[in-house]
Homo-oligomer: A and B are copies of this chain.
Amino acid sequence: MIEYDKPMDIERRSFEIITQLLGEQVIPAENELVVKRVIHTTADFDYAENLAFSDHAVAQGIAALRAGCDIVTDTQMARSGINKRVLEGLGGQVHCFMSEAEVAALAGRRGSTRAAASMRWAAEHVKKPCIFAVGNAPTALLELGELIRGGALSPALVIGVPVGFVNVVESKQQIMDAGAPYIVARGRKGGSNVAAAICNAMLYQIAR
Contacts and interface: CB of A to CB of B under 8 A. Distances in A.
Interface string A179-192: 00000000111111
A165 B196 CA distance: 19
Given A2-B146, A4-B111, A76-B80, A165 B18 contact: yes
Interface stretch (A7-15, A51-59, A61-69, A121-129): A7-15
Interface residues of A, number: 42
Contacts of A188: 43
A166 interface: yes
17 contacts: A2-B112, A2-B146, A4-B112, A4-B113, A7-B113, A13-B165, A14-B164, A18-B165, A40-B164, A41-B163, A42-B189, A42-B191, A76-B81, A77-B192, A77-B193, A77-B196, A80-B80
B189 A44 contact: yes
Contacts of A18: 165
Contacts of A4: 111-113, 116, 139
**Number of copies of this chain in the oligomer?**
2
A17 interface: yes
A62 to B, nearest CB: 23
A81 B139 contact: no
Contacts of A165: 13-14, 17-18, 40, 43
A143 interface: yes
Contacts of A75: 80-81
A187 B45 CA distance: 14
Residue among A2, A81, A168 having the largest count of chain B Cβ atoms under 10 Å: A2
Contacts of A139: 2, 4
Residue among A17, A75, A77 having the largest count of chain B Cβ atoms under 10 Å: A77
B77 A164 contact: no
A14 B162 CA distance: 13
